[in-house]
Structure 1
Amino acid sequence: MYKNRTTNIPEFILQGFTGIPAEYYGLLGTFFLFIYLMLVSGNIFILVFVTCEKSLQKPTYIIFCNLAISDLGFGTTTLPRIIAKYWMSDIMSFNSCTAQMYLVHYFGTCTSFLMALMALDRFVAICNPLRYPVLIKNSSIAILCSVFWIVPFFILAGTVSFALSVPYCGPNIIRHCYCDYISVISLACADITALRVTTTSVAMAVLWGPLFYIIFSYVAIIISVMKIANKEGRYKTFLTCTPQLLIICLYYLPRSFVYLAFAIGFRFESNLNIALIMMYSLFPAIINPLIYCFRTKEIKDTLMRKFKISLSSAFIPTRLKTTTINPLQNTWQML
């Protein structure tokens, strides 16, 4: 497309949020550090807990673990760079920016596919429970997860190569806290209309393909739930699905809006654009452990059982000690 590509920009400047005085940069960096620690601790807990607890090594929790890895990857790709921008330097080399752009969209694509896989798991479990053990196995889920990690690798390689095929000659100020595709490609000093349409089509296919399946799955789930005669059973099932639907809406709807706005050439106000992207990118990664795991009955029961065991083991030595000492005390009193 652009055979004579010339890039005269050795580095980019991350603009981030505008209008914030420099004396508040340290506080803002600390805030993002807190967000990163929340994201890391919640998702690492899922990985460690499911790995150590054999009773949880089932298809559903394998998907949870893969989603946790994707969320960890996205958070680690973006948040340390955001923290560094406000604590140290807002300059990023061209190659580092390209690598970050690739990883940002790679992990985002993996998350989209994994959420569709989670919808498949819930669809079979609720709509066809008798065939669930036959259709959904650890081996089949592991294979599907592997596919959903490998396919985005090639999709994003092509997308990033499109971004690198255009010339960049200035300006070099990225209107974001990290490098993403829209922010970088907007700086190209060439007509990117064809590139915008092509890459937006790919993004929409990656985004809307899983989304349409998720919508189909949850419509079928809701129809099946409405057929449940027991009112309490319907309530519990809806209570389980509602937080997941909230996360799906938060992940897909704002993202689709931003991509479509980019396709038609509409630009948001800088701070609003950054806040919107940060919301749909980081918020699901932070609360996914709460939604998908800590609200799951099996995990809560396992945690409570381990907590009770730890309490019992803490109090048993004290009781044994009391039982052993009391007879001696009685004998001393008799003497």
Structure 2
Amino acid sequence: MLGGLIKIRGDRCWRELTCMDYHYETQPVPNPISYFMHRSPWWFHRLETLVNHFIELLVPFFLLLGRRMAILHGLLQILFQVLLIISGNLSFLNWLTMVPSLACFDDASLGLLFGWRLRERSGSCVRRVLNISLGLLITYLSIPVVLNLLSSRQVMNTSFNSLRIVNTYGAFGSITKERTEVILQGTSSLDPNDPTAVWEEFEFKCKPGDLRRRPCLISPYHYRLDWLMWFAAFQTYEQNEWIIHLAGKLLAQEEETLSLLATNPFAGREPPRWIRGEHFRYKFSQPGGKHARDGKWWIRKRIGPYFPPVNLQGLRKFFEDRNWPYPVQD
């Protein structure tokens, strides 16, 4: 429900039913199915958004309407998460979201599914007292959560007690309308401003880079660095100083850092003298179109520099000011 509220109160495209026009292309790490889902008809994207609102805003109330509706709630929520898993690499988040839904299924429903026979169990009164006590505790702890939801200054992704039993969480309250990517490039040229300098790209394991590389399929596994690069792309490097830290480690060709990447264009050669970040706008190619026939899943257009060329010597003070270990070339 909280995920639905943050959407309704957030980006207007959720209210206009247009967010799914952009989501598949601009989500953190698209997968191959995202490519085709993005090209669905406009009416299908509107239907998807309506279904999202129905699942996140109305279905949670099914829990209050008796056993059968609670079971229906569990089925719908699990099906919804499965669809999200299929359509994008949202790491382990959707898998974890399915876990609470398992509580919607009682022994009778699970026994019918797996062919179990129910047996009379002792201690039903004790169990009932424990259930009621737990319900009262959660109700009490949820008071500040409910007040927060009704507030005009609603706070999301926050815990309301030290045990973190109750909290507010909501994702994708706003949708980016264009996908931008930071592409890290290195050169062996002495002068980074030399127009003849050859810049070679470092390829990450999953995030878009090489236009001809098929989007990856990794869920529930999570490439943390690729995910962070998505956030960095719609911010500045001043807001993400870690990316300069990454550039320094790539300049030093540190093995642990290189293991986080898919390809290193300087493998078996002298380390790069300079590394820069370039900013590109990425879009899915049209299935069956010219670029797709050339084997390109993506098309891109350069926006400009993301951060200027840096070398190890020039980064020394930057590292020292932040008490970061200065990378040393092997």
Normalising by structure 2, we get a TM-score of 0.24
> Higher relative CO (CA 8 A, sep ≥ 6), structure 1 or 2?
1
Pick the structure with more strand per residue.
2
Normalising by structure 1, we get a TM-score of 0.24
